[in-house]
Structures are given as structure tokens and as C-alpha cells.
Copies of this chain bind each other. A is one copy, B any other.
């Protein structure tokens, strides 16, 4: 199995976190799957992902004090593997796990994903439960010094045969359920102690090996960021996606900061290897956080976000409540031309960036290998206004690439407004609203 064949293009889907926090239920997951199948599937959206603490019976019950309740009531099987809370996921009762729910999602032509925390439940270690496939018990495979600094559920695993056996047993179980996607948390940037080496590297390799053994093509997504740019090769070697920022929310400062992140990671986007800009906090979000709201992003900011994610070729995981989605948000998620920028034959790159503006391009990798006739060649160029007021932005074809400079002039088609225009004096020149973007399909003007 080659992990780069699991995700030929950046994964697209819905994840329960932004709306439900830790509290999503089976019924809600199904409603979202139904919506996706009906309205989004044809545009490439396919993953339905249940985020953190689906194994907790208490999740969300003390939200004023704790996002993650210490020593809460979690469901495990006899081998110390977390299983869904039957109160929240009734079909999982009787040891069936997420199999029935995954089957349902699959029946709609979609894929099913779950969140896991790196490690083994603290409770399993304290109870000294047996571990499948090894003589070592949970108290021996668990490392009591390897904890997550924001979630109290797990201990990291020792880098031993026993530790590997636990991950093997876990992936075997989850593959058996039909899981297609695992978002593994506390593993992408989890430096624990001052001066310690990063504790997640070895566990990433262990999970990768467990996936290879389990016989199922499970996409591996690593959280939280920021990932370490100096170890880019390592992420690409073992995972399909890795978060390049800490949690992303509907705040312009975070969105503006993503331009720096994308600049830094742009050369590492490859087939099966996706630096991840994190979820899209669009539409209705925040209910589980006791802060239900329409996204704080302006419409311009929303377009900027969608455009940057697609130009860069980040995975897209929408956080909105899907049933009853408003037309505007739906239009963002179903713009075929924008989404086509994610295609595997394409590649994004930053052209320039200042305090006030950024320009990105997104091209076909094979752009220069044709027969020499570039009449039908095309590329996309996005002009982002990072300022707080409207600005006229400009970029020349030459700056977009030597080969485009030879075109002299180009026709332009704006992908959000669906307007046609053309360059003047070899330049794209346009007024862009504050925090907004204009993104063009650019073709040689014949």
C-alpha cells in the first residue's frame, strides 16, 4: 500500500468540531451525511468526520468548566480501545462500534472518518488491561510521562513492540468498522517538556505502520499545528495531511496569518501529501462551544479563505452545520471552478506578498510540455487585498511567469463574479474590497 494513493487530491469533507465541539450524535452525523450526499457530493465533497470524544458519555456536560472533562466516563473494549458512547451512537451498542454508521455513510457513496487522540486511555493503563497481540499490558505499553497538554484522556505509547501492537490492534478494529480517514490529534506539534525531543515523531511512524498492516486505505491526518517546516519530509513520508497552524477560527488575524503559512509550505504540496490549513468555519458554527453564530467572517473574507485554500491546494473540511445551509455558504462550497484548483494535475504558488497584498497563481504542472502552442493554455491568478480598505491591485503577466509575459495580453474570467475582462498593458489591474480577493482564469488573448 502506498499512502500517496489514498488521497490523489486534497480530501474534502465535513467535520463535526466547529459546530458540535465534543457533542455530536449519530443522528446528527447521519443528517450531515444525507445533506452532503444530496447537495455537495457531486462537487467532490466526500468525507464525513466525527471529531473528538465520541467515546465519552459525559462530553459537553460541564462545558462551563471544561471542554474535556478530567477522568470522564469513556467507553472502552476489554483491550483498552476506545469505542463509541452508545448513549450518543445507539447503533454502536453490543460491540458493533462505528460499523453501522460507517455502513450508512458508505451507502450514500461517501466516506467515513473519525478523530483519535495519540495514545492509550489513561484509564486502561490504570486498570492494567490486556493489549491484543502482546503479553504487555496497558500499564506497560503506556508512557505515564507522555500526556497531551490540553486533553486528559490518554497516555502516549512507548516506542516498543508492545506499543506498536496496541496501535496495530486499534487500526485493525477501526479498519474493521470501515473507517476511511483518521484525524490523529496531539501528534503534529506536541513538544511536551522544555528541551525534549518532539514526542509525536515516533508515534506517527507507528500509526503509519499500523495503517499499512490493517489492509484498508485510511487517510492519515495529523493535528494540531503548527507543523515543523524543518521536518517537512517526515510528515510527507508518513501522513497524508498535517496541520500547518494551530486551530483556525473565524478571525481575520488568523486568516491573514495563513498567507505566511502557505508561503512557507507551498513547495510541499504533493499528491498524497497535503499541508493542511485546517477547517473552514463557514455558515453556522459554535453551538457546542456555547457560542452559536453565523461565521464572523465577512463575505469577502469567506471568498478569500476559499480561494487561498484552493489555490494552495489545502484539504477542505467544512465546519458549518449543513442541514439548512444558507444559499451563500452553499454557493461557496459548490463553485466548480474554484474547487477545480485542487486538481492533482495542478500546483499553486505565491507570486508576491507585501504587508498590503498577496498574489498567488495556480497552474497545470504540465504547462510547458505541450506542443509549443499555448493558445489553449490557462492558469489561475488571485489578487488578495490584505488591507482594511479597498485598494487597486495590479500584477503583470510577466510577474506571473516568464511564459505568460510572452502573451502580451490575456483574457480574464473572474471565478466568483463570473465576469469577463482582459489585461491592459499586460497587467491585471482591479479594485479589490478590504480583505477580499479577485481570482481569474487567465488565457492568452488571441
> A residues touching B (Cβ–Cβ < 8 Å)?
2, 4-5, 70-71, 122-123, 125-126, 128, 139-140, 142-145, 147, 149-150, 152, 191-194, 229-230, 232-233, 237, 263-264, 266-268, 350, 352, 366, 369, 398, 402
Interchain CA distance A92-B350 in the complex, whole Å: 44
With A149-B145, A149-B193, A194-B194 in contact, is A267–B71 under 8 Å at CB?
Answer: no
Q: Given the complex, which residues of B lie within 8 Å of A366, measured CB to CB?
A: 366, 369
Q: Given the complex, which residues of B lie within 8 Å of A263, measured CB to CB?
A: 233
Interchain CA distance A369-B194 in the complex, whole Å: 48
Q: Given the complex, which residues of B lie within 8 Å of A139, measured CB to CB?
A: 70-71
Tell whether, in the assembled complex, residue B70 and residue A402 are in contact, meaning their CB atoms are under 8 Å apart.
no
Tell whether, in the assembled complex, residue B229 and residue A230 are in contact, meaning their CB atoms are under 8 Å apart.
yes
Tell whether, in the assembled complex, residue B194 and residue A264 are in contact, meaning their CB atoms are under 8 Å apart.
no
Interchain CA distance A125-B126 in the complex, whole Å: 11
Interchain CA distance A1-B71 in the complex, whole Å: 38
Pick from B5, B71, B229: contact of A128, CB below 8 A: B71
Q: Given the complex, which residues of B lie within 8 Å of A192, measured CB to CB?
A: 193
Q: Given the complex, which residues of B lie within 8 Å of A191, measured CB to CB?
A: 194
Residue of chain B at shortest CB distance from A125: B71
Pick from B4, B70, B147, B398: contact of A125, CB below 8 A: B70
Residue of chain B at shortest CB distance from A270: B267
Q: Given the complex, which residues of B lie within 8 Å of A125, measured CB to CB?
A: 70-71
Q: Given the complex, which residues of B lie within 8 Å of A149, measured CB to CB?
A: 145, 193
Pick from B70, B143, B194, B264: contact of A232, CB below 8 A: B264
CB distance from A192 to the nearest CB of B (A): 7
Q: Given the complex, which residues of B lie within 8 Å of A142, measured CB to CB?
A: 70-71
Q: Given the complex, which residues of B lie within 8 Å of A4, measured CB to CB?
A: 402
CB distance from A393 to the nearest CB of B (A): 18
Q: Please, could you name 19 A-B residue pairs with CB atoms under 8 Å apart, sorted by A? A: A2-B398, A70-B142, A70-B143, A70-B144, A71-B126, A71-B139, A71-B142, A71-B144, A126-B126, A144-B152, A145-B150, A191-B194, A193-B193, A193-B194, A232-B264, A233-B266, A233-B350, A267-B267, A369-B369
Q: Given the complex, which residues of B lie within 8 Å of A233, measured CB to CB?
A: 263-264, 266, 350
Pick from B145, B230, B237: contact of A147, CB below 8 A: B145
Residue of chain B at shortest CB distance from A70: B144
Residue of chain B at shortest CB distance from A194: B194
CB distance from A368 to the nearest CB of B (A): 9
Interchain CA distance A155-B154 in the complex, whole Å: 14
Tell whether, in the assembled complex, residue A402 and residue B2 are in contact, meaning their CB atoms are under 8 Å apart.
yes
Q: Given the complex, which residues of B lie within 8 Å of A229, measured CB to CB?
A: 229-230
Tell whether, in the assembled complex, residue B126 and residue A264 are in contact, meaning their CB atoms are under 8 Å apart.
no
Q: Given the complex, which residues of B lie within 8 Å of A398, measured CB to CB?
A: 2
Interchain CA distance A264-B122 in the complex, whole Å: 36
Interchain CA distance A126-B127 in the complex, whole Å: 10
Interchain CA distance A232-B126 in the complex, whole Å: 38
Q: Given the complex, which residues of B lie within 8 Å of A268, measured CB to CB?
A: 267
Q: Given the complex, which residues of B lie within 8 Å of A144, measured CB to CB?
A: 70-71, 122, 147, 152
Residue of chain B at shortest CB distance from A191: B194
